[in-house]
Structure 1
Amino acid sequence: MVDWVRLKLDADGFDETEFVPYLDRARASGVDFTTMTELDDRLALYELNKTCSADIPERGEFFTYDEYVANRIEVPSFRADGVVLALRDGRWIGMTMTGLYPGKDTAFTEMTGVLAEERGRGLSLALKVLSIRFVRASGFRWLRTFHHPRNFSAIGMNRRLGFVDD
């Protein structure tokens, strides 16, 4: 049984100053950011999520498209404006999906991922900054996530942003 690493961030206390340069560099390199509100393409989101999820330790088989829609999109926590997308020349290269759980007074990062060939440039950090902005704008204080303990890069990125053990 996996002992997941559970993390939380106080979005109200998050100081993005250190991380805004990642947004600036991404944009300067030709990356555009948008949301599913603007690009309502469920199949493209599914394909990107599936590809990025392949590197998660012990992930197992990914959802079918119909399962994905039923379990990730057609649920009360889903918000199209909470799915931030990174595009280069119109190609979807990165994503973060944040769900809102009003009854629990928390937001939850369902997935953050970047295509392998685009990694190592701080794009995940840029996406997470935009996600944290979404959480704040939605009136939520806590952003939570969890990771497989061997997903060192995701855990490290979140800790760098200020996430602590939950």
Structure 2
Amino acid sequence: MAVEWVRLKLDLDAFDDARFEPRLRSCRQTGIEFTTMAALGDTAEHRRALYELNKTCSADIPERGEFYTYDEYLAQRIEIPTYDPRGIVLALDGGAWVGMATTSIQPEGHAFSEMTGLLAGHRGRGVSLAMKLLAIGFARSRGTHVLRTFHHPANAAAIGMNRRLGFVDDDAPRAAAV
């Protein structure tokens, strides 16, 4: 039986990020630094680090299965027209990469939240929420009006975080949501 993924969308024009600003400040006060792949440099070394972080974080996705090989990852996630290193928010703790939020701008005109992941030892402090807020800022800066995402129905933490931000069920045809 196929899994019915939870598809969500956020109206970026109606989103009020000011109500979440204290959370972002709080994360920065705990020593977490936020940056982007573009700011750090979209180098081969950083792409490898992103791959390793994404692979580790993806292990928590229910029924994820085998993660890409590095070459597959490059071909399917990096060396594609929608890849933009400005859309990859990274959370750093003492220089170590501990979290990522990847957002792309799709040809249909919406933004797509591809992955938000955080190493287990850093969870529960609002870091994922802060990364998602920065990803929303990226999507807005690119002139999009809708941010879409989808989750396995057993991924309650991710679904809950998105719903707290104001994401609602997305009934758009599947082709438009991916």
Task: Flag whether TM exceeds 0.5 (same fold).
Answer: yes
Give the CA deviation at 1:22: 1.6
Structure 1 consecutive aligned stretches of length 4 or more whose deviation exceeds 4 Å? none
What corresponds to 1:33 in structure 2? 34
Gaps of 5+ in 2: 171-178
Alignment partner for residue 94 of structure 1, among 83, 93, 99? 99
What corresponds to 1:15 in structure 2? 16
May I ask how many residue pairs the two structures share in their alignment?
Answer: 165
- CA distance in 2 between counterparts of 1:153 and 1:22 reads 17
- CA distance in 2 between counterparts of 1:11 and 1:65 reads 33
What corresponds to 1:112 in structure 2? 116
Gaps of 5+ in 1: none
Correspondence list, 1:82-161, <5 A:
82-101=87-106, 103-161=107-165
What corresponds to 2:75 in structure 1? 70
Give the CA deviation at 1:65: 0.5
- CA distance in 1 between counterparts of 2:19 and 2:128 reads 14
- Look up the equivalent residue of 1:124 and give its one-letter code: S
- CA distance in 2 between counterparts of 1:36 and 1:12 reads 26
What corresponds to 1:5 in structure 2? 6
- CA distance in 2 between counterparts of 1:139 and 1:4 reads 27
| Cα deviations by residue, 1:17-61 (Å, 9 ceiling, x for unpaired) | 221112111110111111000222100000010101100000000
- Look up the equivalent residue of 1:26 and give its one-letter code: C
Supply the RMSD in Å over aligned alpha carbons: 0.7
Q: Percent identity?
A: 63
What corresponds to 1:52 in structure 2? 57
Q: Larger deviation: 53-62 or 37-46?
A: 37-46
- CA distance in 2 between counterparts of 1:98 and 1:53 reads 15
Secondary structure in 2 matching 1:77: coil
Secondary structure in 1 matching 2:66: coil
Give the CA deviation at 1:97: 0.2
- CA distance in 1 between counterparts of 2:6 and 2:99 reads 23
- CA distance in 1 between counterparts of 2:51 and 2:3 reads 25
